[in-house]
Structures are given as C-alpha cells and as structure tokens.
Amino acid sequence: MKQAQNQILVIFGASGDLTKRKLIPALFDLFKQKLLPKNFAVLGASRTPLSDEDFRNRANEFLPQDEMLDDFRSKLYYQQVYTEKAEDFAPLKARLNKLSEESGINPNYIFYLSTPPSMYAVIPKLLYENGLSKSEEYFRRLIVEKPFGTDLKTAKTLNVQLLNYFSENQIYRIDHYLGKETVQNMLVTRFSNGIFEPLWNRRYIERVEITSSEKLGVENRGGYYDHSGALRDMVQNHLLQIAGFVAMEPPVVAEADAIRNEILKIFQSLRPIEEKDVSKCVIRGQYTASKINGDSVKGYREEAGVNPCSRTETFVALKFFIDNWRWADVPFLVRTGKKLPTRVTEIVITFKKAPHHLFGPTGIKTHNQLIIRIQPDEGLLLKFGMKTPGAGFNVQPVNMNFHYSSLSGAKLPTAYERLLHDCMTGDATLYARGDAVEKAWEFVQPVINTWKNKPEIPIYGYPAGTWGPEEAEQLIENGDWRYPCKNLTNDGLYCEL
C-alpha cells in the first residue's frame, strides 16, 4: 500500500461503539503493518470527560496484547469537546496545534464523524468557523458515516450543508461494504480477464443476484431500526453501490474520479420503479416468532424499542433494470434481510443456457454461474457442466473455486483498514460521491413514497430463520434464488450455520 503523509486523525464520537469495535482496531492493524505515517496521532474527541491515559486504557480493553501495543497507545490522545457554538472548538484547535508542534506532525487533519447523524452538519460548521476545514498548504478531509440522509430531500440538504464548509474532494462518505476485498476485486475480475469481460452483457447474462443476509435480528437497535428498515439501511447504500461495481463500464483509468463517474452513470440509468409496479417489483417482509434449532425466537414486533404495530420491513427483495446498451432488459435482483438462516453477502452472475441442447435430457439442467462471495469466506466460485465418467454424454454440474484464505502469507485487510488507509493517502475510489448518493435516493424514494401512501400493499411475515417471504420467489421468472446454505458439501463456498 501507498505510504501516507504525516497527519492527525480526529475521531468525533471517540467514546462510542464504532471507535471501540472498528476504528481503533483497524488503526492498530495498520500500525503493525507499518502502514501508518512515521509521525501520526489519533485525537479522540467527545463530550465524555476523559484524559489521554483514560482513552489509552480503554484501548487496552479491546485490542489484543502485542509487543507493539505500547508504542501504538502512545499515539492516542483525547480532548473533551462540546458542540453548541464556535468557541467550543477553541480547545480542540489549540490541542491540534500543540500536538503538531510537539510531535513534529504537519497540520494535515482527517476529521472522522463517528457520531449520530444529527451532528453531520453541526461539526463541519464548527470546524469551518474555527479555520480547521481549509488550508492552502495542508490537506483537510472529512469522513462521514452512513446514513447519508433518510430520504432524497434530507440527502440533498445534507450535501448542501457539507459543501458549505468542505469541498466535494475533501468529503469521504464511507460505506464499509466497498472496503471488502472481494468488492474491489470485482474490477480486476472483470477488466483484467479476457474470459469474463466479453461475456459481461445482455447477450450472455440472464440475471444478476445480490444477496446480503444477516443471521441476527435487530438486537438492541430496535428503536433506530424501526425508523429505518431494510430498504434504507441496506439497499439504498451498500447494495446499490455493489450493483454499480457489477454493472459499470470500463473506466478510462483506474483512478477515483474515473471509477466513480462510471458508477454514477449506472445510477443515472436505473429504470424508475413506478407506483403501479411497486407491489410487483418490490417484496417486503418482517420476521415473526419462530423456533431455531429448538430455541424460541422473538418476532420483530416483540423486540425492545419496536412499535408492536410496526410495518417496518426487516426483509426486502426487489427487481430492477438498467436501461443502457450493456444491460438492457437484464433483471437485477437484490435481497437483504434479518433473521435469515445465515450471514452471507454474495453476487451471483447467472449466464444464459447454451442455445442448443446438444446432449438432450442428459445435458446440464442448471445455468452456469459465477458466484462472488463478499463475506464470509471471501472468494469466487464458477459452476459449469462436466461429463460424468463412463459411456455416453451424461453431464453433471461441478464447481471450481478460489478462497482468499488459501493465499499463504496474504493478509486480508478489514474494510475499515482499507478505507481508513485510502483516506489517509487521498484515494476516494471506494467512497461514495455526493451526486451518486442523491441518485441512489432518487431511485428508492418512489418505493418509500408508495409504501407510505398505499398502506394496503402487504408486508409479508416470514418465520425467523427462513429465507424470507415466499412471495419473493415471484421476482425470478426462470429459476430460483440461489440459497447459499443448501447442499453445502457440494458447494465450493461455505456459510456459517
């Protein structure tokens, strides 16, 4: 990886869960790989009153014991901040100046908003008013966690607010799904292999499936999730971004602007789902009480913080089309849900069958498929037909697979490792751009509006531990969804069960 310049990373919301579970461990992994700058500091910032030593001791609680731990801890600092008025950031500014001078770090700053969304416009404003958002000589960058708005209107408002204080090339909207190694490898798989790119179009591909299933329910996030739902929480951001990588045209160069321009073109080409088609093209569901492996499991409406009459979807499946030359009339099918049989995210490219069934009824009865597993057990699986040994031409499906875990000595970085390091080096390729975020909201907004205006559109129940409502099957005309947990012993990629 490219070496980053000397800099300070400021994490707002440093006493929160994301910092503890993801950000500090990712930074420690980068430190152990010698991928952090020589002069580097992390300044945690939040309302919680902590000293530098308190913050470092908290790091001990969630980092593994390692001979490099003490050296890493010495780079952690903490500053209590308030966020009501411009003067509240004066101590933060003074602390940054002091850290820069004492540690020999140029005033290159990254500001990470690991905060509630209500602070996404507040903190940038206070940084701007204290002269921290711009510099003629040094870089200033802002990382924003999702959600990027809760609908099209709020997304546009947020973009306008951010652009009042930071320019677009300073803003890094983080989507941790794009930090997955297999998502990035999609570009290499497509554009560096002559066997795939010629087939990657409507002439040879019958459909594209993208599945992201979770074994867990809403856990202790019922209050938040009941105002969000699967469409907002997963489809509008993570899964549409993945669809963009699957469907994009070859960029002119492998650089951030070129790649993100192609993804934007895909979002601009999405065929709108009209109100009259919502009930046919979008299936929503909600998990109900069930038994999984003999244990009783609550239904969604029984979870803490959830309205007992809630109509929030915990499952959504939709079919859409991309109206351009490459993908005309090829259905893209996306589904995501909670309390499904396993945790898995994968892309399935289903190719059209051979035009002539040369081997008659003994020929292969299934389509060729390329399965790109994003998590867990990252890898690729190709399903094709092979002659069964013996007389005749009986054909059976076989698998050829690759697992990243089989690469000896290769470390698979976590999503936050990759994305944090990219921001440190100024590479925005795997970050969402404001215009693409708005286009994604523009696509899902008619569905949200229709559900709101037409309460008669059903929300189907599905027992916890199953693959969602049976009605989702109607979205695929010729065949079934791929169910990753069936026939595991014959499948090259495995799931958790």
Residue 443's nearest CA partner among 196, 239, 171 is 239
pLDDT tens per residue across span 398-413? 788 888 777 766 677 8
Name the percent of the chain lying above pLDDT 90: 70
Determine whether 238 is an active site residue: yes
pLDDT band at 137 (very low <50, low <70, confident <90, very high): very high
Q: Which range among 64-73, 76-85, 298-307, 372-381 shows the weakest confidence by mean pLDDT?
A: 372-381
The pLDDT value recorded for residue 405 is 76
pLDDT tens per residue across span 11-22? 999 988 899 999
Class of domain 178-411+438-490: alpha beta
Q: Which residues pair with 205 in a beta bridge?
A: 351
Beta carbons within 8 Å of 449's beta carbon, 6+ residues apart: 275
Q: Which of 179-183, 292-296, 434-438 shows the highest mean pLDDT?
A: 434-438
Residue 185's nearest CA partner among 31, 351, 330, 375 is 375
Mean pLDDT, residues 52-56: 93
Q: Is the pLDDT of residue 274 over 90?
A: yes
Q: Is the pLDDT of residue 49 over 60?
A: yes
Q: Is the pLDDT of residue 189 over 70?
A: yes
Which of the 8 DSSP states describes residue 104? T
Q: Which range among 80-84, 167-171, 182-186 shows the weakest confidence by mean pLDDT?
A: 182-186
> With 0-12 CB in 10 A as exposed, 13-18 as middle and 19+ as buried, what is 319?
buried
The pLDDT value recorded for residue 408 is 65
The one catalytic residue in 227, 238, 357, 403 is 238
Delimiting residues of CATH 3.40.50.720 domain(s) in the chain: 7-145
Q: Which two three-digit tokens encode residue 145?
A: 């966690």
Q: Is the pLDDT of residue 136 over 70?
A: yes
Q: Is the pLDDT of residue 178 over 50?
A: yes
pLDDT band at 182 (very low <50, low <70, confident <90, very high): confident
pLDDT tens per residue across span 206-245? 999 999 999 999 888 888 899 999 999 999 999 999 999 9
Beta carbons within 8 Å of 430's beta carbon, 6+ residues apart: 175, 178, 179, 183, 184, 418, 419, 422
The rounded Cα 291 to chain-centroid distance in angstroms is 30
pLDDT band at 493 (very low <50, low <70, confident <90, very high): very low
Class of domain 7-145: alpha beta
* DSSP string for residues in 128-172: HHTT-S--SSS-EEEEEESPS-SSHHHHHHHHHHHHTTS-GGGEE
* H helix or E strand, kind and range, residue 92: helix 90-103
Residue 315's nearest CA partner among 227, 217, 222 is 217
Q: Is the pLDDT of residue 155 over 80?
A: yes
- What pTM was estimated for this model as a whole? 0.91
Mean pLDDT, residues 94-109: 94
Delimiting residues of CATH 3.30.360.10 domain(s) in the chain: 178-411+438-490
Between CA 334 and CA 241 the distance in angstroms is: 12
The pLDDT value recorded for residue 35 is 92
Q: Is the pLDDT of residue 101 over 60?
A: yes
The torsion angles phi and psi of 167, rounded to 5 degrees, stand at: -80, 160
Query: What is the average pLDDT value for the chain, to the nearest integer?
Result: 90
Mean pLDDT, residues 422-450: 95
Mean pLDDT, residues 155-178: 95
Mean pLDDT, residues 133-147: 94
